[in-house]
């Protein structure tokens, strides 16, 4: 009895769950096929298989199938009345045409039609009537769950899948012979939806394909969009839930977009506003600490103070950009402020100077100073741009130019996933990077993890030995993630990996061993003096970065002009100052303001940096344009 009660409860709960998820159930009858059941509910066989995988092998009578509620157009049902005789009736007291029509389930017009005297005379007691008897037949419009669709110019699978509310896999199941690339005018099968249920592509948004194992939490981390926001942008998502291959509408994103590749815009060709632009630059020069008594003292101050060093480098790039912009006929008013790396100084600068007509503020460099400036300037709605900060408070007026680490990590993971060649994946990590090691293990199920060794007290020693790696290495292709911020550990692991690469030698019976090195977090550990560039090139070291590496052999106009002015090659900080200033001013003179330029100039690129800003649904903007780079022949090149 207890089992019966529990079973009943489970059936009720299952039914409630099915209804809540917009599904129904079907009990299979003897002789029924999946195709029969699909036609009955106006869905495709693929819809049924996706929820009932066992139905592919054998369909047994009394099996309960989960059936999705059809999105297809419902067939039109027409009732046809055919006269099948009469029934005599003598009118009684108080009877009316209405009561008789209701009694015999006909209309008043039907009664009058076969008793024509009622057109001229009222119904009286004693009247003899002949009541028509009809045979009712329902004619169901012949309608299939799919229809033929003609592919439009530049239309790919994802656009059609999104338009008809299905996944790309479901579209391919409806069209086994459709091919990889759709051709204009090609005819394919799509769900037969009502016209008002077909979705339109809105170019103001991006579209994202849901990957395996992706839930709302992972999408929030990756896309910066919450579950509620996704459900608001995608009606029906709350009922259906996430499905692998589903196409979601998301806020515009250059990184996560299935749309056609947008061309980089050259803003030099788009200058339309030659009115003077007012920019302000805030940098932590800390000039109050400089020893001005002698040239030697001044030089010592610059070398000793990292803030002054960085500020001077960045500012030199800004000045180079201002010179270039003036040659283009652009009029600029530029205010430069020394923040002294003090929050109080930030407030003093903004309160004692008129910022209301400033078009954009560059800096401060330090995050807490930047946050204070952003808060102070928010009341004027003045855009403020951070050259270096990450994980900032993205207020409505904030532009973060540094690409978020999460996007860079995802870019390298997607690159590895796109490599279809069979490979052995290894993760080498220290104790501080166990979380990313476990995440990579989840992304790549077959991956093997090698952790750095520990001392007798259980503390990380930040090294591995050759045997640790050899036991997980295989002949053929090996792809190794190295996850650390420790330069010594990076040097140790890189040296061992480089020594384990082997060329095939048939005479000696040696199989070829290839190793390619990758990291999800490129940091200073990979740039230290202990790191061998020869080893990095040998290992084809790959990583994602917000900026490509500047090539000193590049004899561009900027390099020549900078060297002529400052007698040194430009540092990457100087290049960032140049690139950022050029981009901001060119956006101002080619759009209504910096905010409008986000959509009007979605992607721009300069010497080392490119800029594609994405706005958070609630908050400011961050740059999502990044590069995939690798070491090759002792240089760093972009992976196309």
**pLDDT, tens digit, 9 for 90 and up, residues 430-465:** 999 999 999 999 888 889 999 999 988 889 999 999
- Please give the angle made by the CA atoms of 132, 135 and 140, to the nearest 5 degrees: 140
- Average confidence (pLDDT) over 101-118: 90
Beta-strand ranges (E) seen in 468-620 are 476-483, 513-518, 542-545, 604-605, 610-611, 613-615
Predicted confidence (pLDDT) per residue in 321-362, tens digit = 999 999 889 999 999 999 999 999 999 999 999 898 999 999
Q: How far apart are CA 629 and CA 419, in angstroms?
A: 15
At residue 398's C-alpha, the angle toward residues 628 and 221, to 5°, is 50
Question: What CA–CA distance (Å, rounded) separates 494 from 228?
Answer: 44
Q: How far is CA 299 from the centre of its chain?
A: 48
> Is the confidence at residue 517, as pLDDT, over 90?
yes
> Residue 176's Cα: distance from chain center in Å?
28
- What is the mean predicted confidence (pLDDT) over 300-304? 73
Three state DSSP letters for 45-86: HHHHHHHCHHHHCCCCCCCEEEEECCCECCCCEEEEEEEEEE
| DSSP 8-state symbol, 326 | H
CA distance 455 to 379: 55
Q: All domains of the chain, ordered by start, with CATH? A: 2-68 (3.10.350.10), 77-140 (3.10.350.10), 202-261 (3.10.350.10), 278-403+553-625 (3.40.50.2300), 406-545 (3.40.50)
Q: List the helix and strand counts (H, then E) for the chain.
A: 22, 24
Range in 124-133, 244-253, 580-589 the model is least confident about: 244-253
Nearest alpha carbon to residue 78 among 137, 145, 132: 137
Q: Which of 246, 317, 202 is nearest to 562 (CA)?
A: 317
In three state form, how does the secondary structure of 519-561 look?
Answer: CCCCCHHHCCCCCCHHHHHHCCCEEEECECCCCCCCCCHHHHH
What pLDDT was estimated at residue 518? 96
Q: Which of the four pLDDT bands, split at 50, 70 and 90, describes residue 190?
A: confident
Q: Tell me which H or E stretch contains 309.
A: helix 306-327
Q: Which pLDDT score, from 0 to 100, does residue 1 have?
A: 42
**Distance from C-alpha of 290 to C-alpha of 302, rounded to nearest angstrom:** 8
Indicate the pTM of the whole model. 0.60
Summarize pLDDT for 518-527 with one digit per residue, the tens. Answer: 999 999 999 9
Work out the pLDDT band at 294, boundaries 50, 70, 90.
low
Query: Which of the pair, 512 or 482, is modelled with greater confidence?
Result: 482
Burial 339-356 (b: 16+ CB within 10 A, else e): bbbbbebbeebbeeeebe
Residue 5 pLDDT > 60: no
Residues in the chain: 640
Evaluate if residue 259 carries a pLDDT over 50: no
Residue 254 pLDDT level (bands cut at 50, 70, 90) = low
Q: Which residue has the higher pLDDT, 207 or 260?
A: 207
Q: Is pLDDT above 90 for 266?
A: no
d(CA 587, CA 273): 10
* Mean per-residue pLDDT of the chain: 83
- Output the pLDDT for position 141: 54
**With 70 as the cut, is the pLDDT of residue 140 above it?**
no
Task: Report residue 9's pLDDT band, with 50, 70 and 90 as the boundaries.
Answer: very low
Q: What is the dihedral of CA 36, 39, 41, 43, to 10 degrees?
A: 110
Distance, in Å, from the CA atom of 604 to the CA atom of 588, rounded to the nearest integer, reads 13
Q: How confident is the model at residue 2 (pLDDT cuts 50, 70, 90)?
A: very low
Identify the pLDDT of residue 616: 84
DSSP state of 165: T
- CA–CA gap between residue 79 and residue 139 (Å, rounded): 6
Question: Residues 309-319: pLDDT tens digits?
Answer: 899 999 999 99
The DSSP string of 332-397 is EEEEEEE-TT-HHHHHHHHHHS--TT-SEEE--SSHHHHHHHHHHHHTTT--EEESS--S----TT
Q: What's the token pair of residue 391?
A: 């994980």
Confidence of residue 4 (pLDDT cuts 50, 70, 90): very low
Question: Which residues does 242 contact at the CB level (< 8 Å), separation at least 6?
Answer: 210, 214, 215, 216, 219
Q: What percent of the chain clears pLDDT 70, i.e. is strictly above it?
A: 86
Is residue 419's pLDDT more than 70? no
Best CA proximity match to 208, nearest among 172, 241, 239, 167: 167
Q: What is the pLDDT of residue 75?
A: 57
Beta bridge partners of residue 129, listed in sequence order: 89
What confidence score (pLDDT) does residue 269 get? 75
The torsion region of residue 13 among left (phi > 0), alpha (psi -120 to 50) and beta comes to alpha
pLDDT for the residue 10: 41
The pLDDT assigned to 6 comes to 42
Residue pLDDT, tens place only, 219-231: 887 788 899 999 8
- Residue-wise pLDDT for 559-611, tens only, equals 888 888 998 889 889 999 999 999 999 999 999 999 999 888 888 989 899 99
| The predicted structure's pLDDT at residue 553 | 53
Instruction: Please say whether the beta carbons of 371 and 362 come within 8 A.
Output: no
Question: Angle formed by the axes of helices 295-304 and 306-327, to 10°?
Answer: 100
**pLDDT higher than 60, residue 262:** no
The token pair at 153 is 């110019």
In this model, does residue 261 exceed pLDDT 50?
no
19, pLDDT greater than 50: no
SS3 content of the chain, % helix, strand, coil (to 5): 40, 20, 40
| Greater pLDDT, 497 or 144 | 497
């Amino acid at each position: 009895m207890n089992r019966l009660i529990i079973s009943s409860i489970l059936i009720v709960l299952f039914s409630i769950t099915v209804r809540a998820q917009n599904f129904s159930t079907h009990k299979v009858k003897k002789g029924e096929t999946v195709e029969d059941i699909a036609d009955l509910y106006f869905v495709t066989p693929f819809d049924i298989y996706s929820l009932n995988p066992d139905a592919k092998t054998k369909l047994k009578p009394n099996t309960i199938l989960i059936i999705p509620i059809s999105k297809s157009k419902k067939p039109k049902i027409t009732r046809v009345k055919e006269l099948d005789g009469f029934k005599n009736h003598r009118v009684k007291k108080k009877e009316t045409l209405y009561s008789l029509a209701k009694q015999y389930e006909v209309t008043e017009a039907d009664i009058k039609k076969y008793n024509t005297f009622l057109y001229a005379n009222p119904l009286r007691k004693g009247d003899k009537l002949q009541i028509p008897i009809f045979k009712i037949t329902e004619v169901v419009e012949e309608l299939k769950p799919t229809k033929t669709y003609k592919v439009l110019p530049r239309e790919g699978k994802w656009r059609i899948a999104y338009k008809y509310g299905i996944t790309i896999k479901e579209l391919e199941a409806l069209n086994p012979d459709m091919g990889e690339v759709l051709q204009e005018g090609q005819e394919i099968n799509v769900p037969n939806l009502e016209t008002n249920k077909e979705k339109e592509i809105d170019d103001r948004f991006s579209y994202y394909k849901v990957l395996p194992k992706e839930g709302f939490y992972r999408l929030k981390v990756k896309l910066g969009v919450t579950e509620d926001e996704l459900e608001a942008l995608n009606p029906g998502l709350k009922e259906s839930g996430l499905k692998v291959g589903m196409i979601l509408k998301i806020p515009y994103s250059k990184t996560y977009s299935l749309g056609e590749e947008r061309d980089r815009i050259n803003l030099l060709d788009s200058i339309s506003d030659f009115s003077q632009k007012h920019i302000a630059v805030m940098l932590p020069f800390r000039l109050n600490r400089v020893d001005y008594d002698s040239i030697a003292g001044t030089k010592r101050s610059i070398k000793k103070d990292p803030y002054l060093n960085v500020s001077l480098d960045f500012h030199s790039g800004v000045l180079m950009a201002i010179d270039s912009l003036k040659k283009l006929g652009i009029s600029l008013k530029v205010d430069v402020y020394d923040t002294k790396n003090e929050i109080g100084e930030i407030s003093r600068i903004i309160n004692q100077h008129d910022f209301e007509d400033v078009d954009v503020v560059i800096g401060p460099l330090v995050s807490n100073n930047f946050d204070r400036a952003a808060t102070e300037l928010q009341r004027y709605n003045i855009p403020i741009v951070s050259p270096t900060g990450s994980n900032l408070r993205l207020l409505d007026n904030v532009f973060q130019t540094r690409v978020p680490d999460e996007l860079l990590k995802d870019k390298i993971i997607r690159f590895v996933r796109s490599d279809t060649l069979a490979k052995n994946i290894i993760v080498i990590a220290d104790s501080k990077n166990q979380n990313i090691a476990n995440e990579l293990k989840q992304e790549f199920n077959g991956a093997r993890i090698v952790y750095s060794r520990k001392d007798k007290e259980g503390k990380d020693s930040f090294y591995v030995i050759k045997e640790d790696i050899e036991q997980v290495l295989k002949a053929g292709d090996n792809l190794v993630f190295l996850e650390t911020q420790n330069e010594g550990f990076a040097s140790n692991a890189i040296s061992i990996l480089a020594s384990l690469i082997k060329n095939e030698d048939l005479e000696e019976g040696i199989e070829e061993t290839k190793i390619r090195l990758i990291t999800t977090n490129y940091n200073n550990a990979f740039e230290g003096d202990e790191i061998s560039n020869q080893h990095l090139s040998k290992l084809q070291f790959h990583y994602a970065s917000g900026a490509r590496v500047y090539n000193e052999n590049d004899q561009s106009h900027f390099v020549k002009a900078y060297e002529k002015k400052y007698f040194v090659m430009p540092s990457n900080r100087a290049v960032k100052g140049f690139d950022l200033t050029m981009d901001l001013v060119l956006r101002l003179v080619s759009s209504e303001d910096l905010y409008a330029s986000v959509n009007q100039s979605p992607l721009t690129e300069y010497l080392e940096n490119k800029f594609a800003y994405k706005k958070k649904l609630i908050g400011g903007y961050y740059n999502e344009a990044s590069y995939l780079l690798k070491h090759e022949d002792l240089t760093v090149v972009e992976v196309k």
